[in-house]
Chain A
Amino acid sequence: MIDFKRSINFGLLAGVSMSFLGSIGMIETFNARTLINPILRMGDLFLYGTLLAIAYFAARGELNVLEQPKVEKGTGMLTGAAVGLVAAVFTSLFLLLIDSVNVVRFFPNMDQSMIDSLTFEQGIPLGLLLLAAASVVVGAVGGLLPALSKEVRKSVWLVSSWVLSIALLEVVVSDIVENRSAIRLIYAPGGGLRLWSVAVIAVLVVVLSRRYEGRLGAFTTKVKESDPKSRLRRGIIALAIFAAIVLPMLLGGILNELLINVSLLILMGLGLNIVVGLAGLLDLGYVAFFAVGAYGMAVLTSPLSPTISPELSWWLALPVVLVLATFAGLLVGTPVIRMRGDYLAIVTLGFGEIVRILLLSDWFTPVFGGSQGIRRIPGVQVPFLGEVGGTRPELFVYLTTAFVLIAAYISYRAQESRVGRSWAAMREDEDVAEAIGISTVQAKLLAFVTGAIVASFAGALFAAKVGAVFTNSFDVLVSIVILVVVIVGGMGSIPGVVVGAFVLIGVLGGPKSPGLLQEFAEYKLLFYGAILVVMMLKKPEGLLPSVRRSRELHQEDMAQDAWLDKEAHLLEDRLEV
């Protein structure tokens, strides 16, 4: 029998979520992008995807000890359909309310076009029926999923994620592939995959996943368990470097621009990873060091710098900037050394804001240009290539990549060194670390300074790339976005930062720059906030966790797992009898 109370609760949750997504104007904005022509637009994907997930959880119920859902197909579908129906009724009532009361004055997005976007452009009476029908069907599918066998579920998951990724990567694919007619074969003229290419992808994915089942998983475990100095690891790193060299040649200007933004964020992420991930110091004012790098470079190289204007070349200015960053790291690091973790977070946030306010103030305008900023910063002089700046993104990207490699090497070596081990000890327990003879003062300052230097690299590159610095590039959002990158990737994990930056900055967009999907611009920070919360609740160790860090976070679970395993065996025995 289906649990009516549960269905209604989950249905209301789905209804509220769907109404919310509509009210903030997200569905309307996202519907501009077609994913599968003509049946699926991105707005609808988010709208019904939410419903699908909620219906899935409603039908799956609480997991038992074996973590195996036990749902009958009929019950699951009915529960899901009920959830969909309740959600549709709630959303329809909400839409009727908006239709009758004019609230546009207070809520600018709750207008006629919002109603249209939720009702398939069919208006009130007919559109609401369509909404209800779609919700019931999607809900039923969501409810059916937990009742299917594990293999079928896996195939459904694989097919849908591949189809959606290929649909979302349309920009990249059409940028790399020169042949227009080949693209028209896969993608429809108005954007979005053609139906038959969806079918081909689905068949390919199912066949290939059956054929190579388990090989990928086995390979990743093999890589994970292999010695860091083994031939396999080195091969992978060499392959990654090779890809980094070849990729920019294939891409056009816009994508190289994006690649530069991503690699600057990777650079800062690697730096913050040293401070937060390795040393366990939550720094929310990390953007201050980025600003030191950018403004330092601007003052030293630009001919338009107001007072001090030595007009050095980029390479000559770099050591000076590094010295400045070291001082900044010590200046921020020393007062906060005796503070516990959460005070440290707020104080560093304060430092970040102070830097921005001072840069903007009349007091420092004679040096830093105030709100006018500093313009005409020259690019980087590279032998044989001349000056490489933001106007030549396909060359500049190699510079950022080179610095990313340097930063990755630094953090990799630091992690495995004596300093890295003392950071790890300090992160786990400061008192114990002190007791076994680690100088926590030295370790903390070293973490701050290393982080500051890496961020100032990023700042120096940023100044040369943009050619101008303004204070609004350095507000607190930057610090938060870098933090999200580090946390999503996995604190303390170098590959994690790279993957996190590509997924988040590449797709959603950076703090000040658009990503692959321009529609996200208004909503990316909403997503960043939600991602941060969900990661902390469900997977605090990140997507590609460092082994040591995830052990720290799951110390209690390990004891619990042992107990659960025993329980599970007992249960299995009982079931067999």
Chain B
Amino acid sequence: MLPRQVVSNTTETTASARRFRFNWVDSFLWFIRVAAIITIVVGLTGTIQNFIAGEGPTVTQWRDLFVSSISTGAMYGLVALGYSMVYGVLGFINFAHGEVFMSGIMVGWVAATLLFQYGLWDANPFFSLAVVLVIAMITSTLIAVLTEKVAYRPLRGAPRLIPLITSIGVSFFLQYAFAGLFGVGLQTYPSPPGILGRDINILGVPIEGTKLLVIVVAILAMIALWYFVTRTKTGRAMRAVAEDKEIAGLMGINVDRTIIMTFAVGGAMAGVGGLLWALLFRNVQFITGFLPGIKAFTAAVLGGIGNLPGAMLGGVLLGLFEGMGPLLVLDGLGIPAVSQLKDAVAFSALILVLVFRPSGLLGERLGSEERA
């Protein structure tokens, strides 16, 4: 009786000691959380006050901003799928995925310019876009598979920072290889065919044709990917490899081939994302892939890395954050020229997500073992 009491006493004291121990890091993290919430609330109130006072953007402008944020976000989501899939299977961040995305846009630009030159771009817009889409997808897939074969395959089982550093190297190599091949200047796609320029009414809301097309293509690609991953044999193999490479190998799955497939599918999705980029922004340069790449990674983390619907959701949310956040929150705080801070908002979103909920919105909480 007596010893047990003693034991329980000690555990109680340690528990209470732990409860009341002041911890600088935790308090700082709490400070960040509270400060973030206060900033957002104050900013929102300011913006609402402005809106009531009749200053700032009008309702139509807010709506347009919302639509373009969602379409940009859908594009991020497609690129994020590649990060998420590779992370799920190999457990490292493929830093070069942004360059995979860029390669599709760049080669697609050659195709689009040629189509435009022969008059097909305007005469047969949807056929031309399909051609550009296929070419962008093939390019991105090839680059993704090639990088896996050359750079990542020999590193299976290396400490986890090694493939990450390798992928940084691959990323810069690809960037400057493309700069050497295509020149460093900014290249422009021909302006989108006439039909896409018009507004199309959806449920009484006029939406710009390009943006509608972007959203539709993103949804179609997502459905195709979902079907591929859940219903086909290769998709099942991919999920098995993500779960446990060794056991999957013992079950007769060709692990190397499955990993290549993962890179290929991620690359193809980046290719689709590339077409959407071309539709939305029309410009391409060798560094085009860098920022969208990091943002797409942010989207993948936001949704829960390794989770495919999460990547798409994260993409759309990130698009909304960076598209609307500056005007919605920062403008209310009285900060000038908020649109310059778009990228900073996206990166702050990444930091805040990792501080608030490191597992992402749809991700499972990772055990300490997996987090190490």
Are A345 and B169 in contact, with the CB atoms below 8 A?
A: no
Known: A353-B344, A363-B337, A532-B172. A345 touches B180 (CB 8 A): no
| B151 is an interface residue with CB less than 8 A from chain A | yes
Are A350 and B351 in contact, with the CB atoms below 8 A?
A: yes
| B53 is an interface residue with CB less than 8 A from chain A | no
Are A361 and B341 in contact, with the CB atoms below 8 A?
A: yes
| B154 is an interface residue with CB less than 8 A from chain A | yes
Of the A-B pairs whose beta carbons lie under 8 Å apart in the complex, a sample of 22, sorted by A's number, is A24-B179, A107-B181, A108-B183, A280-B161, A335-B355, A339-B358, A341-B161, A341-B164, A342-B160, A343-B301, A343-B354, A345-B164, A350-B350, A353-B347, A358-B341, A362-B340, A526-B173, A526-B177, A529-B169, A529-B170, A532-B165, A536-B163
Are B343 and A357 in contact, with the CB atoms below 8 A?
A: yes
Tell me which residues across on chain A come within 8 A of B158, comparing CB atoms: 540
- Chain-A contact segment, one of B24-32, B130-138, B275-283: B24-32
Known: A354-B347, A360-B340, A533-B166. A346 touches B180 (CB 8 A): no
A553 CB contact (under 8 Å) in B113, B159, B348:
B159
Besides A108-B182, A346-B301, A361-B340, 17 more A-B contacts (Cβ < 8 Å) are A23-B180, A24-B179, A105-B113, A335-B32, A339-B354, A339-B358, A340-B371, A347-B354, A483-B165, A525-B172, A525-B175, A526-B179, A529-B169, A531-B169, A532-B166, A533-B166, A536-B165
Are B347 and A533 in contact, with the CB atoms below 8 A?
A: no
A342 CB → nearest B CB, Å = 5
| B162 is an interface residue with CB less than 8 A from chain A | yes
Are B340 and A337 in contact, with the CB atoms below 8 A?
A: no
Counting chain B CB atoms within 10 Å of each CB, which of A23, A340, A429 scores highest? A340
Bound-state Cα–Cα, A284 to B293, Å: 15
CB-CB nearest in chain B for A552:
B159
Tell me which residues across on chain B come within 8 A of A280, comparing CB atoms: 161
Tell me which residues across on chain B come within 8 A of A334, comparing CB atoms: 24-25, 28-29
Are A349 and B337 in contact, with the CB atoms below 8 A?
A: no
Tell me which residues across on chain B come within 8 A of A343, comparing CB atoms: 301, 354, 358
Are A530 and B169 in contact, with the CB atoms below 8 A?
A: yes
A515 CB → nearest B CB, Å = 16
Counting chain B CB atoms within 10 Å of each CB, which of A107, A523, A537 scores highest? A537
Which positions in B face A, CB cutoff 8 Å? 24-25, 28-29, 32, 92-93, 110, 113, 151, 154-155, 158-166, 168-177, 179-183, 290, 294, 297-298, 301, 335-337, 340-341, 343-344, 347-348, 350-351, 354-355, 358, 368, 371-372
| A48 is an interface residue with CB less than 8 A from chain B | no
Chain A 342-372 against B: per-residue CB contact (8 Å), 1 yes, 0 no?
1101110111011001101111000000000
Are A526 and B180 in contact, with the CB atoms below 8 A?
A: yes
Counting chain B CB atoms within 10 Å of each CB, which of A280, A335, A476, A552 scores highest? A335
B74 CB → nearest A CB, Å = 22
CB-CB nearest in chain A for B27:
A334
CB-CB nearest in chain A for B159:
A553
Are A342 and B164 in contact, with the CB atoms below 8 A?
A: yes
Tell me which residues across on chain B come within 8 A of A43, comparing CB atoms: none
CB-CB nearest in chain A for B23:
A441
Tell me which residues across on chain B come within 8 A of A336, comparing CB atoms: 354
Are B348 and A354 in contact, with the CB atoms below 8 A?
A: yes
Bound-state Cα–Cα, A152 to B65, Å: 71
Counting chain A CB atoms within 10 Å of each CB, which of B180, B344, B368 scores highest? B180
| A528 is an interface residue with CB less than 8 A from chain B | yes
Are B92 and A347 in contact, with the CB atoms below 8 A?
A: no
| A25 is an interface residue with CB less than 8 A from chain B | yes
Tell me which residues across on chain B come within 8 A of A525, comparing CB atoms: 172, 175-176
CB-CB nearest in chain A for B92:
A342
Counting chain A CB atoms within 10 Å of each CB, which of B158, B176, B336, B343 scores highest? B176
Known: A431-B368, A526-B180, A536-B155. A354 touches B165 (CB 8 A): no
Tell me which residues across on chain B come within 8 A of A537, comparing CB atoms: 151, 154-155, 166
Tell me which residues across on chain A come within 8 A of B290, comparing CB atoms: 476
CB-CB nearest in chain B for A358:
B344
| A118 is an interface residue with CB less than 8 A from chain B | no
Bound-state Cα–Cα, A339 to B301, Å: 12
Which positions in A face B, CB cutoff 8 Å? 20, 23-26, 105-109, 280, 282, 284, 334-343, 345-347, 349-351, 353-354, 357-358, 360-363, 429-431, 441, 476, 480, 483-484, 487, 522-523, 525-526, 528-533, 536-537, 540, 552-553
Bound-state Cα–Cα, A284 to B165, Å: 10
Tell me which residues across on chain B come within 8 A of A353, comparing CB atoms: 294, 343-344, 347
A332 CB → nearest B CB, Å = 10
CB-CB nearest in chain B for A444:
B25
A19 CB → nearest B CB, Å = 11
Bound-state Cα–Cα, A37 to B233, Å: 62
Tell me which residues across on chain B come within 8 A of A335, comparing CB atoms: 28-29, 32, 351, 354-355
Are B166 and A357 in contact, with the CB atoms below 8 A?
A: no
Bound-state Cα–Cα, A343 to B300, Å: 12
Tell me which residues across on chain B come within 8 A of A522, comparing CB atoms: 179-180
Counting chain B CB atoms within 10 Å of each CB, which of A280, A284, A357 scores highest? A357
Bound-state Cα–Cα, A99 to B335, Å: 56
Bound-state Cα–Cα, A205 to B350, Å: 57
Are B350 and A347 in contact, with the CB atoms below 8 A?
A: yes
Tell me which residues across on chain A come within 8 A of B28, comparing CB atoms: 334-335
Are A480 and B168 in contact, with the CB atoms below 8 A?
A: yes
Are A536 and B166 in contact, with the CB atoms below 8 A?
A: yes
A526 CB contact (under 8 Å) in B164, B172, B297, B347:
B172
Tell me which residues across on chain A come within 8 A of B355, comparing CB atoms: 335
CB-CB nearest in chain A for B31:
A334
Tell me which residues across on chain B come within 8 A of A338, comparing CB atoms: 25, 29, 358
A441 CB contact (under 8 Å) in B25, B93, B160:
B25
Q: Which 10 pairs across A and B sit closest by C-beta, in order of nearness? A: A24-B180, A532-B169, A529-B173, A529-B172, A350-B347, A526-B176, A362-B337, A533-B169, A108-B183, A536-B166
Counting chain B CB atoms within 10 Å of each CB, which of A335, A484, A529 scores highest? A529
Bound-state Cα–Cα, A360 to B113, Å: 35
Are B372 and A430 in contact, with the CB atoms below 8 A?
A: yes
Tell me which residues across on chain A come within 8 A of B163, comparing CB atoms: 536
B309 CB → nearest A CB, Å = 21
Are A533 and B93 in contact, with the CB atoms below 8 A?
A: no
CB-CB nearest in chain B for A25:
B180
Tell me which residues across on chain A come within 8 A of B175, comparing CB atoms: 525, 529
